[in-house]
């Protein structure tokens, strides 16, 4: 096909799509690009950025899996991206936003192939307006890439089912390998696919397989071979996780709370809206839409095979992870289940499509739209991250080279230093030891004659009294104190009469 023929083909494909799809994609893009740099980095975003800015590309590929529980694909892409666009908040977050935007038409394509165009548009709309997906599309983490890779893998799986060509096989292998190298729990998506293919024989007419077994084994063998480096790292992480005391390869998971049924329900509901009890209201919306579809007198019959695919897609990344978290070690938090979100969007879309009564279908659509939109104003109008940039601005406006910035908790120190050193590269930023905060502050102030700027997160303020007492004994008193969202900056100046340390 020559260039003109290709252009004509692409134009024909684009014009053949329903106009409402372009409206959905445009609004979804606007939601993900709006306010992209309004928030300061939070600690996980800073960690992502620090991983790539402090290492070469080769070191990112080899070393990051040793210090982070996630595979390196996103970090490699972020390394390339930051070398092109820089490290400002909007520039760095744009990478995640682009993956988030691209997932919208991709989910439409999957819904159109699996069901029809109407289901595709509905599902794309759910993804486009989901506050949960919007927030992760504005985050310097791998979760928007995880959704994108998941939908890609599922789309090529469906094509292997309907038109098993070499292109579909290559696309499936590439997307599935990318999925595995994006997130540790991307493997759960492949487990869900295996469950679907194995179970398809029991729900398809004539007892046939959704995908020819030999072809399926072939593509899985290719995925397995390409995923060997990832499997080695993940095996090491799993052994460290299950070994008492961890070991040299252990990654800290102790911050994850114990799973509860309400956390499970809220995690799924948060895909739709987190505005009521962190997602419980969204779950109720899903239940109501399902009941409306079930109670419709003229509902469209249920397709068992496609329902099996969605059930496996939701059940393994969400329910299976919840069970493992309950029986082995807590691993269940909502963002770790985000790979199942497109399946929930497709489920809602096909349930609305299954409603035979037009009036009830309109009620379902209105209910869904209200639930999706309800969470967006609060997301854009309130601060989502600790205001480290504003806190650092207080320091940079008044500090000089003789001053020192103290940051309680070491993992916040690097984040504060990034903002302070943009304008005041000579001002030292020191960590206050969590284990021995008093001695840590005492040693730091002894070596600095200038002012002290103390930055403390509200979540780490239990040592505030002791630290202030040390600073008072060092001959310093409070000149100003500024409180921001979840962080307070206190400026200590030297007394004229001095003091004892």
**pLDDT, tens only, 460-486:** 556 677 787 888 888 888 899 998 888
The 10s digit of each residue's pLDDT in 432-453 is 876 677 787 888 887 777 889 9
* For residues 399-422, average pLDDT: 85
pLDDT given for residue 241 in this prediction: 63
Q: Cα separation of 491 and 395, whole Å? A: 8
Q: Cα separation of 284 and 266, whole Å? A: 10
pLDDT given for residue 254 in this prediction: 64
Render 406-455 in DSSP notation, one character per residue. Answer: EEESHHHHHHHHHHHHHH-TTS-EEEEPSSSHHHHHHHHHHT--S-EEEE
Of the candidates 263, 397, 256, which has an alpha carbon nearest to the alpha carbon of residue 329?
256
Q: Cα separation of 303 and 323, whole Å? A: 28
In whole numbers, what is the pLDDT of the chain averaged over residues?
86
Higher pLDDT pick, 9 / 130: 130
Number of C-beta neighbours around residue 282 at 10 A: 31
Higher pLDDT pick, 83 / 450: 83
Q: Which residues neighbour 407 within 8 Å (Cβ) at sequence distance 6 or greater?
A: 413, 416, 417, 429, 430, 431, 432, 455, 456
CATH superfamily of 388-494: Vaccinia Virus protein VP39 (3.40.50.150)
pLDDT given for residue 383 in this prediction: 85
At 277 the three-state DSSP class reads helix
Decide if pLDDT at 249 tops 50: no
Query: Residue 1's pLDDT band (boundaries 50, 70, 90)?
Result: low
Measured in residues, the chain has a length of 501
Task: Answer yes or no: are the C-beta atoms of 424 and 397 closer than 8 Å.
Answer: no
The 10s digit of each residue's pLDDT in 161-217 is 988 899 999 999 999 999 999 998 999 999 999 999 999 999 887 788 999 999 999
Residue with tokens 């809602």: 348
**Per mean pLDDT, which range of 113-117, 279-283, 391-395 is the poorest?**
279-283
Q: Cα separation of 297 and 300, whole Å? A: 9
Tokens standing for residue 14: 């684009």
Q: Which residues neighbour 328 within 8 Å (Cβ) at sequence distance 6 or greater?
A: 242
Residue with tokens 């009521």: 276
| 305 burial level (CB within 10 Å; 0-12, 13-18, 19+) | middle
Number of H helices, E strands in the chain: 24, 5
pLDDT given for residue 197 in this prediction: 96
Residue with tokens 């007419």: 205
* For residues 66-93, average pLDDT: 92
Of the candidates 103, 142, 152, 145, which has an alpha carbon nearest to the alpha carbon of residue 126?
103
Q: Cα separation of 253 and 377, whole Å? A: 32
Helix (H) or strand (E) holding 456: strand 452-457
Q: What is the pTM of this model?
A: 0.90
The 10s digit of each residue's pLDDT in 317-374 is 999 999 999 998 888 999 999 999 999 999 999 999 888 788 888 888 999 999 999 8
Domain with CATH 3.40.50.150 in the chain: 388-494
Print burial letters for 452-475: b (CB count within 10 Å at least 16), e (below 16). bbbbbbeebeebbeebbebbeebb
Decide if pLDDT at 128 tops 70: yes
Torsion angle (degrees, nearest 10) of CA 76, 81, 86, 89: -90
Decide if pLDDT at 224 tops 60: yes
Beta bridge partners of 489: 455, 482
Q: What are phi and psi of 172, to 5 degrees?
A: -65, -45
Decide if pLDDT at 22 tops 90: yes
Q: Cα separation of 74 and 102, whole Å? A: 16
pLDDT given for residue 299 in this prediction: 54
């Amino acid at each position: 096909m020559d260039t003109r023929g290709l252009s004509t083909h692409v134009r024909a494909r684009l014009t053949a799509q329903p106009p409402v799809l372009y409206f959905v994609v445009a609004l979804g893009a606007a939601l993900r690009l709006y306010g992209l740099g309004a928030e300061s980095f939070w600690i996980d975003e800073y960690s992502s950025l620090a991983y790539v800015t402090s290492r070469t590309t080769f070191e990112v590929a080899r070393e990051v899996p040793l210090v982070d529980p996630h595979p390196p694909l996103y970090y490699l892409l972020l390394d390339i991206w930051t070398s092109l666009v820089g490290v400002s908040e909007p520039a760095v977050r744009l990478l995640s936003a682009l993956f988030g935007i691209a997932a919208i038409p991709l989910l439409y394509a999957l819904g159109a192939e699996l069901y029809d165009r109407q289901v595709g548009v509905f599902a794309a709309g759910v993804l486009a307006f989901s506050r949960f997906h919007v927030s992760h599309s504005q985050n310097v983490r791998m979760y928007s890439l995880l959704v994108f890779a998941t939908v890609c893998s599922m789309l090529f799986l469906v094509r292997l089912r309907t038109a098993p060509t070499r292109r579909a096989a290559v696309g499936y292998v590439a997307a599935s390998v990318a999925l595995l190298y994006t997130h540790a729990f991307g493997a759960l998506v492949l487990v869900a696919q295996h469950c679907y293919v194995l179970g398809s024989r029991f729900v398809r007419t004539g007892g046939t397989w959704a995908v020819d077994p030999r072809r399926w084994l072939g593509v899985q063998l290719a995925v397995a071979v390409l995923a060997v480096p990832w499997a080695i790292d993940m095996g090491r992480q799993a052994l460290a996780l299950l070994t008492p005391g961890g070991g040299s390869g252990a990654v800290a998971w102790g911050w994850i709370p114990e799973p509860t049924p309400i956390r499970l329900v809220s995690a799924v509901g948060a895909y739709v809206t987190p505005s009521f009890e962190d997602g419980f209201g969204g779950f109720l919306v899903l239940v109501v839409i399902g009941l409306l579809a079930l109670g419709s007198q003229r509902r469209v019959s249920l397709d068992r095979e496609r329902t099996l695919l969605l059930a496996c897609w939701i059940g393994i990344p969400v329910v299976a992870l919840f069970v493992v978290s309950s029986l082995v070690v807590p691993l269940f938090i909502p963002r770790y289940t985000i790979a199942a979100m497109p399946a929930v969007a497709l489920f809602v879309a096909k349930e609305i499509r299954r409603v035979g009564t037009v009036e009830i279908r309109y009620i379902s659509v209105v209910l869904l739209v209200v639930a999706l939109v309800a969470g967006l104003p609060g997301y854009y109008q309130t601060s989502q991250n600790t205001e480290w940039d504003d806190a650092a601005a207080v320091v940079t406006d008044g500090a000089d080279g003789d001053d020192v910035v103290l940051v309680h908790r070491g993992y916040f120190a690097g984040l504060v230093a990034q903002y302070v050193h943009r304008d005041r590269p000579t001002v030292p930023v020191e960590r206050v030891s969590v284990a021995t905060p008093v001695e840590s502050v005492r040693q730091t102030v002894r070596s600095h004659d200038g002012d002290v700027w103390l930055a403390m997160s509200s979540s780490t303020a239990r040592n505030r009294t002791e630290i202030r007492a040390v600073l008072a004994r060092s001959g310093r008193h409070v000149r100003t104190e500024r409180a921001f969202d979840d962080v307070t900056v206190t400026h200590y100046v030297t007394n004229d009469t001095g003091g004892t340390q």
